[in-house]
Chains A and B, each alone.
Chain A
Amino acid sequence: MEILVCVTRVPDTAENEIELNSAGNDIERDDLVYSVNEWDNYAVEEAIQIRDRVGGSVTVITVGDDESDEILRREMAMGADKGILLSDDAFEKADGQGIAAILKAAAAQGSYDLILTGAQSEGGAGEVGGMLAAMLDLPYASLVVSIEESGDNSVKVGREIEGGTIEMNEISLPCVLSIQTGINEPRYVGIRGIRKVANVDIPVQSISELGITDSDVSSSVKRLDYFVPDMGEGAEMLEGDDEEIIDKLIEMLKAKGGIK
């Protein structure tokens, strides 16, 4: 099975507190720690496991700049066979549809049975996988938490819907799936693994090499700013030393029936 996994480099929310910058128009980007989008990491692990079961290859692809090279290498250290970096100044302002258009052009240059994306990234829209599928005219399923080969030309996938219920579908290949966290346990990548792929050639493709134009990637949905909404009073914050806080908290919990 030839598998393409679309990944992206994002600020790591487990490592960073996301705050506004002093101008209040963007998040504070100095000192941010970046990593591969968490959902994408599950997608790459799933692709590797499928390849190991049925053969084939795993290609990881990203739209980004020079710094995105490191996440491709990280995913190759996990076990992906190839990396492709899609990079062009014209891509910088692309919205979700623009990213999907760039990925579509790259996917069309290969011959993939299965295309995976993460279910969402830091923006929380969860839109690129579904858009890419529609652009390629391929069947799509989102929020996938299980993939099982069934027959030559289809896979059985479980979608996680509300209440922890799993919706089982049969989907014909080739198809696009967006992967939800928890589908597997992504393997650990050590320094040695990263070193092994440090010198592997990763081809870079620009807008002209992909055969698309500025208008394909221009943004029709524009983010105007970042802000922190005034949510009213919020929580009553308990302050002081730990002992004082604990005494206050225990009193409150008792009053609310929290301590039996």
Chain B
Amino acid sequence: MKLFAYITHRDGTADDSAQELAAAAAQIAPGEAVTAIVTGSGEDLQTVCDQITSSFSEVIKVDSSELGYPNGELIRKVLTNLLPENAGILIAHNTFGMDLGPGLSIKLGSVFLADVVGIDKIDGDQLTVVRQEFGGQVSTHVQCSLAAGAVINIRPGSFAADENAEAGGSVTDRSGDTGDLTSGRKFLELVEAEVGDVDITKEDVLIAVGRGIEDEDNLEIVEELAEAMGAAVACSRPVVDAKWLEKSRQVGTSGLTVKPKVYLACGISGSFQHMGGIKGNPFVVAINKNPKAPIFQVADVGIVTDILDFLPELTEKIEEISS
């Protein structure tokens, strides 16, 4: 099948996922040419197209002032117009790809594979991929036919980029083929997250707390430990959803990206959205009462226990040593 990859970009730089999509495509259709599609407007767009010719043998550029911001509804129309019948298209499963992929599959009359973390095998037109369910607690093999085309959303960071790729692609301008660009959804503006009292992105030692804290009143034991260790308190999404801590304390793809030296994850299951916000390979200690929590697969050190009992004991011992 003919494979395409939709490339997202910002400020004239292609997203890291561009090379990852090329790598995933190479596993689905080894040796086949893969065409990248890049939409946007102006000079930045050309810069991005030139950047990715090493990874893709053909790059389709679609330049339109109406595509300056990637509105999922508009891009869906462009792709429905551009793609040949029964095409396969790879998209990064980020907040843009989640917006675009499902509806695109309906308009193309193809299957949709969400949040793919691995390619298991391809046998004729039968593709088997690996996905995760239940917040990463279990994985599944998922199979579908590619005969009628496919929209395949690839989880960022799941495929290793080929840094030495030399696809030597050429750029083709298809700006005239956008089709109708009216939409019931209009992009207005971006509102950046507010900066909090503590900047967790600059801290060396973070104590991050998750759902396992159970109640707002229990946050005290985390704050006491942080004080004893000279650390800052961070958290995972459920704690912010419950309004127990500010958004500026949230680590993860929908929160902040942190680069500490030491990361103590307390009562955090370790979803990929959370772990995606931790960079720089810190020393990760996971404390969780569920021995099956995915965080134990990625942490350096794990302790299976209830944080509500364990953290106060740890704090007491550290205070004892320091005094």
Contact = CB atoms under 8 A, between A and B. Distances in A.
Contacts of A252: 283, 285, 301
Contacts of B6: none
Contact of A227 (B107, B141, B241, B318): B141
Contacts of B193: 163-166
Contact of B261 (A14, A158, A222, A258): A258
Nearest to B102: A130
B257 interface: yes
B302 A161 contact: no
Nearest to B299: A235
A156 B317 CA distance: 52
A74 interface: no
Contact of A235 (B72, B192, B269, B286): B286
Nearest to A20: B138
Interface residues of B, number: 98
Contacts of B13: none
Contacts of A122: 133-134
A253 interface: yes
A237 B302 contact: yes
A194 B7 CA distance: 48
A250 interface: yes
Contact of A139 (B184, B269, B304, B322): B184
Interface in A21-55: 27
A18 B139 CA distance: 11
- Most B C-beta atoms less than 10 A away, residue of A127, A236, A242: A127
B188 A156 contact: yes
A253 B94 CA distance: 34
Interface stretch (B52-60, B81-89, B110-118): B110-118
Given A134-B106, A139-B73, A163-B193, A229 B139 contact: yes
Interface in A176-218: 181-182, 185
A11 to B, nearest CB: 7
Contacts of A166: 190-191, 193
A173 to B, nearest CB: 9
B95 A143 contact: yes
Given A14-B211, A18-B134, A235-B302, A125 B114 contact: yes
B186 to A, nearest CB: 5
A242 B211 CA distance: 22
A257 interface: yes
24 contacts: A13-B134, A20-B138, A124-B131, A127-B102, A127-B112, A128-B102, A133-B103, A134-B106, A134-B107, A142-B72, A156-B188, A161-B254, A168-B187, A169-B185, A221-B144, A227-B139, A231-B298, A234-B299, A246-B314, A252-B283, A252-B285, A258-B229, A259-B318, A260-B229
Given A162-B94, A185-B243, 8 more contacts: A17-B137, A96-B112, A122-B133, A134-B103, A161-B96, A221-B112, A221-B142, A259-B205
The 3 closest A-B pairs by CB, nearest first: A130-B102, A139-B184, A260-B230
